[in-house]
Every structure is written in C-alpha cells, then in structure tokens.
Amino acid sequence: MALMAGTIHVVEYNALVFRRIWRGSIAVSFFTPLFFLAAMGIGLGSLVNRSSGGVNGVPYLDFLAPGLIAAACMQTGAVEATYPILAKIMWDKTYEAVLATPVTIADLLRGEVVWNTIRMCIVATMFWVVMFLFGVGHSLEALLAIPASILTGLAFATPIMAFTATRRNDSGFAAINRFIIIPLYLLGGTFFPIAKLPLALQAVAWATPLAHGVALTRGVVLGNLTSTEAVMHVLVPLAYFVAGLLIARALLLKRLAK
C-alpha cells in the first residue's frame, strides 16, 4: 500500500481545494447537458428527424447524446491538464512544496491523473443522468458510457499534461483549445457521422482518440457495437493514454527533479 499512499495524498489535496468551489462546477455539469440535449437533441433534432428520418437509423437525440458525453470528457480532461497543472508547477509552486515531502514525482503524476479521472467521472455521470431523463440509453450496458467517455478524456489528459510540463507560460493552451479541442468537438463525429466529411478529413478524424471514444460511447448506449469495433475503439484511446503517461512522466522528472 505504500506505493499508493503518495498518490492518495495528491488526490486528497485536490479534493480539499475543490471543496470550496464545487457548487458552481456541479451546476455547470448539470445544466450544460440539460441545455444541449434540449436544444440540439430535441429542437434541432426535430428538423433532422423530419427531413432525413434521424441519423444511421436512430432519432437524432439518440445519436447525439452519447457523443456529447465523450466530447464533454475530452474537454474536462484537456482543461484539467493545462492551467491547474502549470499553476502548481510554476505560479503557485505547489509541487515544490509537495516534493519536499516523501511524495515522489511518480506519485504526483498518478495523483493528478486519478484526480482528473474523478472530475471526468462527475461530468460523465451527470451527463448520463440527464441523458437517461431524456429517455436515451435505457439498458444496463448503457452505463458503460461512463467508463467509455472517461477513457476518451484520459486519452487527451496525459498527452496534454506532457505538453504542459514543457511550458513556461499559458499562451500554448489557447492554441490547444482552438486548434485541437474545438475542431475535434465540431468535426470529430459528435454532431454528425464522420462519413459526411471529405475523405482526407475522415482519415485524420479516425487517427484521433475522440472519433474512437465517441464511437465506443455511442455503441454501448445504442447497443450496436461488434466485438472487433469495440476492441479497436478501446485500443486507440488507450494507446494515446499510455504514451502520454510515459512522456509526461519523463518530462515532469526532467522539469521537477533537482
């Protein structure tokens, strides 16, 4: 258990800070899916269903809702891996204080990844509940949407933490959001099938973890995933997560070890 003790301390630190700000954060995590599913799923969905009879054989709401859960975890995982981490490396120098204790750099990284997972779990669970209230995903397997979307978010969290470990200021974060997160959110299979994109962009989309994460989450909710598809949609995000973790570990060691 000694291995986990340091990790748990890092998670506990984050939870203590979160205790003071959770109200606004929880409100946003609840109202965002409520507004999005009402407006895009039902309002816009009524136009989509009327003119093309839904998407891939299901009503637009059923198509959209699981994709949005995966995309929400991508956004949470990405944001949590930027400003809060750089603040603790540079601005508040929290890690300098932490590393003066028996907690190691590896503990730090594990603790931050676990904390990010907890944040995504809150977001995904709230979203799942709202989706359930809208009448989508009424099956036991649909609960798998929560781990599937967390996996999607983790595939972004660790590579972005690796990037953060190299930063001296926050100007790169706006670029990550504008040139990676927002384009993927809008074009990566959440709002319309990737097959509607030009061929070259389809290839790019399938190389990213979001497309696989969305397909996985959607597949478990709609219950129409083949086992080959399931394996591929798990392996691609998992590969991003593991590679990101290893690189982040090496870069944090370089930055923080004295």
DSSP 50-78: HHHSSBTTB-HHHHHHHHHHHHHHHHHHH
Instruction: Say which residue the tokens 């933490």 belong to.
Output: 161
Closest approach, Cβ 212 to another protein, in A, equals 19
Residue 43 contacts another protein per CB under 8 A: yes
Closest approach, Cβ 236 to another protein, in A, equals 22
CB-based contacts of 217: which residues, under 8 Å, 6+ apart? Answer: 66, 67, 69, 70, 145, 148, 149, 152
**Cα gap 211→226, rounded to integer Å:** 16
Residue 60 contacts another protein per CB under 8 A: yes
Near another protein by CB under 8 A, which window of 32-40, 113-121, 123-131, 215-223?
32-40
- CA dihedral of 114, 119, 120, 122, whole degrees rounded to 10: 130
Residue 235 corresponds to which amino acid?
Answer: L
**Cα gap 4→6, rounded to integer Å:** 6
Closest approach, Cβ 31 to another protein, in A, equals 6
Cβ atoms of 244 and 159 within 8 Å: the answer is yes
**Cα gap 63→59, rounded to integer Å:** 7
Residue 39 contacts another protein per CB under 8 A: yes
Within positions 184 to 243, which residues make up the interface with another protein, using CB under 8 A? 186-187, 191-192, 196-197
Q: Which is nearer to another protein, 178 or 254 (CB)?
A: 178
Strand partners, 55: 58
> How many residues does the structure list for the chain?
258
Query: Applying CB under 8 A, which of residues 15, 46, 92, 254 lies at the interface with another protein?
Result: 46
Residue 131: closest CA among 190, 61, 75: 61
Q: Which is nearer to another protein, 171 or 226 (CB)?
A: 171
Q: Which is nearer to another protein, 20 or 138 (CB)?
A: 20
Residue 178 contacts another protein per CB under 8 A: yes
Q: Which is nearer to another protein, 40 or 120 (CB)?
A: 40
Q: Which is nearer to another protein, 35 or 93 (CB)?
A: 35
* Binding positions for another protein, rule: CB under 8 A: 21, 24-25, 27-28, 31-32, 35-36, 38-40, 43-44, 46-48, 51-52, 55, 60, 171, 174-175, 178-179, 182-183, 186-187, 191-192, 196-197
